[in-house]
């Protein structure tokens, strides 16, 4: 059992609507926004509830792994064949239509998170409570709103920019330009930086809540999208030099249960593993080998396998190969995988599988890693490269390679030699092998850096940089929402 997990409370906050209707579940309780926000406990529980929308809900809701891994060249869909979750395959082959359920879930769930964050920002200021705690709660809500908007703007481009709960019935909010949405995320991230505690001052019981470093990392990612290289390098170096984070000694341990909340963890979604409560990570089930206890989705592609250099210890921490001896002593059988490989990032030892511990399929214990120091270092290296600071970029990338070279018990120090002068392709390579299948970012990085058309079959430049606006939302808006080009 993990320590200090956040239990994602389910708080009914009225039936949620916005740009028509993003939440249509049947109410199971009768708390309302008018009677709920009264105490500091109410405030903390309300912002805690927002975090639950960050979980990768695999096939049941918003699925960052379907977009970030499968739509890219890091993974194939896998599963039980072409008809198994065929809507994900439509995303993979860039034939998804506006009525695709995964498209709708991405829209609905991220706007649901924004709505809940907006409620916190509207209601909590009036609560009579400790001023420091109130500042932190509001900072977390601003960070969360910025995070959800980043998911939306990367996927859909122009989206409605909603900064307060809609309670006047006027749900049809026009889309704002992508640049305005990114500017709003910047503002939320900067506000959160000034409101949130440092990692080193965070209480153990608050693990899984956003800190100043998480807000800085969100701001860095936005700067990377905006190509604000000078600002990106500055904020990236601030995180690196803060003394709050350090690279773990062995990168192959980062994705294990023992590696959660390690020294380089900046933010990870804290998935609870209370047996039978369904508050865990579905990806442990969704990505687990199909011939063990899982569904076998998100299987490593041959393209990803080929990307790793010979002997790179990160390979075995990412990819399971046939007949490989696994850490719990079992021997892998990958013959039923679509690609001949399984995903190691969400693999569990037999002793850790929830159904062997009195739990159910929704009780996966693995945290989703959102921001880690290595990704920040590589973004900072990319920004430094664009700023002409090649020496700084080279040092940062070589630190990542040096750590990898000394990981996993490797004794051959000739592997992963340092780069003399790093190139942009070197940086992109390290980003891919360092974070593949774990941070669910590959597709977004290909879009951000303009490489998608060259690397992804069927990708149509000028169209597939974004996915379609859900058809039901366009129809119910009466023409207020404009469909993305090509759909």
- Cβ-count burial of 234 within 10 angstroms (0-12 exposed, 13-18 middle, 19+ buried)? middle
Residue 301, CB-side half-sphere exposure with 13 Å CA sphere? 20
Range list of β-strands (E), 20-177: 75-78, 159-160, 175-176
Q: For residue 215, what are the contacts with CB-CB under 8 A and spacing of at least 6?
A: 139, 143, 189, 190, 192, 193, 196
Range list of β-strands (E), 356-450: 368-372
Contact 36, 46 (CB under 8 A): yes
Range list of β-strands (E), 242-337: 265-269, 297-300, 319-320
Distance CA 72, CA 442 (A): 6
Distance CA 213, CA 199 (A): 7
pLDDT tens across the length of the chain (487 residues): 343 333 333 333 332 333 322 223 333 344 566 678 899 999 999 999 999 999 888 777 899 999 999 999 999 999 999 899 999 999 999 999 999 999 999 999 999 999 999 999 999 999 999 999 999 999 999 999 999 999 999 999 999 999 999 876 677 899 999 999 999 999 999 999 999 999 998 888 899 999 999 999 999 999 999 999 999 999 999 999 999 999 999 999 999 999 999 999 999 999 877 777 777 899 999 999 999 999 999 999 999 999 999 999 999 999 999 999 999 999 999 999 999 999 999 999 999 999 998 888 889 999 999 999 999 999 999 999 999 999 999 999 999 999 999 999 999 999 999 999 999 999 999 999 999 999 999 999 999 999 999 999 999 999 999 999 999 999 999 999 999 999 9
Residue of 437, 371, 351 whose CA lies nearest to 143 = 371
Take residue 436 and report the two structure tokens written for it: 């593949």
Residue 315, CB-side half-sphere exposure with 13 Å CA sphere? 20
Contact 326, 63 (CB under 8 A): no
- The C-alpha angle with vertex 114 and arms to 113 and 119, in degrees rounded to 5, equals 100
């Amino acid at each position: 059992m993990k320590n200090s997990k956040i239990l994602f409370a389910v708080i009914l906050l009225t039936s949620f609507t916005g740009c028509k209707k993003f939440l249509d579940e049947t109410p199971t309780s009768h708390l309302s926004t008018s009677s709920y926000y009264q105490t500091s406990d109410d405030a903390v529980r309300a912002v805690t509830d927002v975090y639950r929308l960050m979980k990768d809900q695999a096939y049941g809701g918003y699925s960052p792994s379907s977009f970030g891994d499968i739509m890219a060249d890091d993974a194939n869909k896998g599963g039980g064949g072409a008809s198994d979750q065929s809507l994900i395959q439509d995303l993979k082959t860039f034939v998804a239509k506006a009525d695709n359920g995964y498209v709708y879930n991405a829209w609905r769930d991220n706007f649901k998170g924004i709505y809940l964050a907006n409620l916190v920002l509207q209601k909590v200021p009036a609560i009579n409570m400790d001023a420091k705690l109130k500042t932190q709660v509001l900072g977390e809500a601003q960070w969360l709103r910025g995070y959800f908007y980043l998911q939306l703007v990367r996927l859909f481009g122009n989206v409605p920019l909603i900064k307060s709960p809609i309670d006047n019935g006027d749900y049809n909010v026009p889309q704002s330009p992508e640049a305005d949405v990114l500017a709003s995320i910047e503002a939320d991230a900067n506000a959160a930086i000034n409101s949130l505690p440092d990692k080193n001052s965070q209480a153990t019981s608050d693990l899984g809540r956003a800190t100043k470093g998480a807000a800085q990392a969100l701001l860095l990612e936005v700067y990377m999208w905006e190509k604000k290289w000078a600002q990106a390098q500055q904020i990236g170096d601030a995180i690196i030099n803060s003394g709050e984070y350090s690279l773990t000694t062995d990168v192959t341990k980062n994705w294990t249960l023992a590696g959660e909340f390690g020294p380089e963890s900046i933010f990870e979604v804290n998935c609870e593993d209370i047996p039978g409560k369904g508050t865990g990570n579905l990806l442990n089930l969704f990505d687990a080998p199909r011939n063990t206890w899982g569904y076998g989705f998100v299987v490593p592609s041959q393209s990803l396998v080929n990307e790793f250099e010979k002997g790179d210890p990160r390979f075995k921490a990412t990819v399971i190969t046939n007949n490989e001896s696994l850490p719990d002593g079992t021997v892998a059988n990958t013959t039923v995988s679509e690609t001949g490989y399984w995903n190691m990032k969400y693999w569990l030892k037999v002793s850790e599988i929830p159904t062997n511990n009195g739990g159910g399929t929704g009780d996966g214990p693995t945290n989703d890693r959102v921001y880690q120091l290595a990704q920040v270092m590589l973004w900072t290296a990319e920004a430094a490269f664009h700023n002409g600071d090649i020496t700084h970029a080279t040092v940062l990338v070589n630190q990542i390679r040096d750590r990898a070279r000394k990981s996993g018990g490797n004794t051959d120090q000739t592997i992963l030699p340092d780069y003399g002068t790093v190139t942009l392709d070197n940086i992109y390579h390290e980003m891919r092998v360092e974070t593949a299948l774990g941070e669910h970012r590959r597709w977004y990085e290909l879009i951000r850096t303009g490489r998608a058309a060259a690397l992804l079959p069927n990708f149509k430049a000028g169209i597939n940089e974004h996915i379609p606006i859900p058809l039901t939302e366009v129809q119910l808006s009466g023409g207020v929402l404009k469909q993305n080009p090509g759909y």
